[in-house]
Amino acid sequence: MSKSILSTVFLFHQIRFDLQSNQVYIMKIVLPILTVLFLVGCQTPSKKVDVLTEDVDRFWRAYDLIQETDSTEEQLAILHKHFIDSASVGQQQLFIARSYTPEEYIENIGKYPKFYASLRKQLKELPSIQAGILQGLQEFEKVYPKVSNSAVVFGMGNFRTNSTTLDSMVLIGTEMLCTNGNIDVSEFGDDMQFVKNYMASEPMNNALFLGVHEFVHTQQIEAYENNLLAIALREGTAEYVATLASGLASVEPCMEYGKEHRDEVIHQFVKEMFNNSHSYWVWSNMPNQFGVRDLGYFVGFEMAKHHIEQSANKDLAIAELIELDYSDSASVSDFVERIGFFEKTMTSYQERYRNAQPQVTSISWSKDTLTIQADQALDTLYRGFSYGPLGEEHVLFISNWLGFVAGDSAFRMVIDTTFSKPQQLIVNSTFRNRNGVELVSKLIER
C-alpha cells in the first residue's frame, strides 16, 4: 500500500467505484432463455443451467483482426465491433464488476502475444472443462435440490478474477481459470507475480470444484456490504458445499495452513470478525501476520462443517447455510450463536469488540495542518477517508499526507484551505488498531 498523497487522493475515486460496484452486485438482471450450446459426456441438471462460451469466440475473432493493424484507434474500433459491443449480458457484467477497459485489453494483447498464443492452444480443452462443470452442478443439485436456474458464462478479462458471480450468473475469467503449467508466462513482470503463481497451481484441474463453489454463491444472498463474519461464513459455506457436491478437497493453501494453525487463526479472527472491512481475510494479497491469504475461507469452512456435521438433518443444515440472509449482520450473528461454533456468546464478543475499537479523541489545527488524535496506537498499513454527508463537492481535500505521529496514535495531513464553502471528511473505519480492530468513524468539518 503506497504511503504517498497520490494514494490518499485515489481513495476518493475508489469510493465512487466501490459504490458503483455495489450497485452492480445488487442489480437484478433478467436473462433470456437460451439453448445449452455444448454438452460433452454429461447429463444436464434437471434445472436449466446454460454454460456459454460465445464471448471467448468473440474475443479471438477480435484478437485476430487486431493483429492486422498497428493503429491503436483501429484496434479499439475492432475490439468494440467484434467483442465489446456484441458481448453477452454476462461478459458485460464482467467488464463492470472488474472495471475492465477497452484500452486495457489492447495493451495486454500487445504486451503478451506468447501468453495468448499458449492460452489459445490450451482452450482446446474448454469442452471438457464445460462438461466437468456441468457434472459438478448436477451433483450440487443432489445436495441442494432447491437450486434455481442459472448460467455459467465463460468470458475474457484482464487477469483480475478467475470467477465471480452476479445474481444467477457465474462469470468465469477464462484467461485465468483455463490455465496450467503449460501456459507461457515469460512476458509477465513482477507486477504479475500473483498471476504467475496462480497459473502454476494448475487452476484448470480445479475448474469443476471452483464452478460448484461459484454456483453455490448464485443461490445465496450477497454479503458485500456486511461484516467480516458474514463474508467469511458465506465463502466458507460455498467452499464446504463444493466439497460435498464434487467429492474433492479444497486446494486453497489457506485450508492446509488453517488446519495446522487453527487456534491462532480463529483467535485473531474473533478479534476482527465484526469489522466492516474484510482486509486480508478474503480476496486479498495484503500482508498479514500469518503470511497466507484468504484465511476467512478457512474459518467459514470450519463453521459450515461444524453445523452440518453436528446436525441430525444434514439436508436442512445445508439449506440453512445456503439460504441464510448474509446481508443482515444480526441474522448471521444469531445463526453463529445458535450453531455454537465459538467458545463464548456472540453478545460477549460484540461487547468486547466495541470496547476495543479505537476512537478519535481530538482534532486540532495549526494553520493548514490537521492533526487527528486517537485513544490508542494505530496500524500504519491502514488508512481511509470518505466523503461527508454533503458529498464530493464539499470534500475536505488532503493536499499532503504527513504520516503517523505520537507513537502511531495520531496522524497529520495538510489540508487545502482555499475553499470558502463548508468542507467535510470522514475518517473512516479503514483505520484500525494493531490488533486489527477498526476505528469508529469520525466526521471532520471545517
| Banded model confidence at residue 48, pLDDT cuts 50, 70, 90 | low
Average the pLDDT over each of 44-48, 232-236, 411-415 and give the range with the smallest value.
Answer: 44-48
Domains defined along the chain, listed by start: 33-218 (no CATH), 228-354 (no CATH), 358-445 (2.60.40.1220)
Residue keyed to cell 463453521: 303
| Banded model confidence at residue 50, pLDDT cuts 50, 70, 90 | confident
Residue 49 burial (10 A CB sphere; 0-12, 13-18, 19+): buried
Q: Give the pLDDT score at 167.
A: 81
Average the pLDDT over each of 2-11, 206-215, 373-382, 417-426 and give the range with the smallest value.
Answer: 2-11
pLDDT-above-70 percentage for the chain:
89
Give the separation between CA 415 and CA 424, rounded to whole angstroms: 11
Decide if 394 contacts 420 (C-beta within 8 A): no
- Mean pLDDT, rounded, of the chain: 88
Q: Give the pLDDT score at 97.
A: 92
Q: Give the pLDDT score at 139.
A: 92
3-class secondary structure per residue, 211-269: HHHHHHHHCCCCCCCCCHHHHHHHHHHHHHHHHHHHCCCCCCHHHHHHHHCHHHHHHHH
Give the torsion through C-alpha atoms of 82, 86, 87, 92, to 10 deg: 120
DSSP sequence for 260-328 = HTHHHHHHHHHHHTT-SS-GGGSS-----TTS-S-HHHHHHHHHHHHHHHH-S-HHHHHHHHHHS-TT-
Q: Give the pLDDT score at 19.
A: 27
Residue keyed to cell 436473462: 31
Q: Give the pLDDT score at 51.
A: 85
Residue 212 or residue 48, greater confidence: 212
Decide if 347 contacts 169 (C-beta within 8 A): no
Per-residue pLDDT of 339-387, as tens digits, reads 999 999 999 999 999 999 999 999 999 999 999 999 999 999 999 999 9
Per-residue pLDDT of 226-262, as tens digits, reads 999 999 999 999 999 999 999 999 999 999 999 999 9
Per-residue pLDDT of 190-204, as tens digits, reads 999 989 999 999 999
| Banded model confidence at residue 55, pLDDT cuts 50, 70, 90 | very high
HSE (side-chain half, CA atoms, 13 Å) at 442: 18
Residue 315 or residue 14, greater confidence: 315
pLDDT at 71 over 70: yes
Q: Give the pLDDT score at 334.
A: 98
Per-residue pLDDT of 287-330, as tens digits, reads 899 999 999 999 999 999 999 999 999 999 999 999 999 999 99
From start to end of 304-389, where are the E strands? 360-366, 369-374, 385-386
Residue 313 burial (10 A CB sphere; 0-12, 13-18, 19+): exposed
What letter would DSSP give residue 438? B
pLDDT at 22 over 60: no
Model-level pTM? 0.81
What single letter denotes the amino acid at residue 73? Answer: E
| Banded model confidence at residue 285, pLDDT cuts 50, 70, 90 | confident
Per-residue pLDDT of 92-115, as tens digits, reads 999 999 999 999 999 999 999 999
pLDDT at 269 over 70: yes
Residue 383 burial (10 A CB sphere; 0-12, 13-18, 19+): buried
Nearest one of 218, 224, 230 to 304, comparing CA atoms = 230
Decide if 246 contacts 339 (C-beta within 8 A): no
Q: Give the pLDDT score at 12.
A: 29
Decide if 322 contacts 219 (C-beta within 8 A): yes
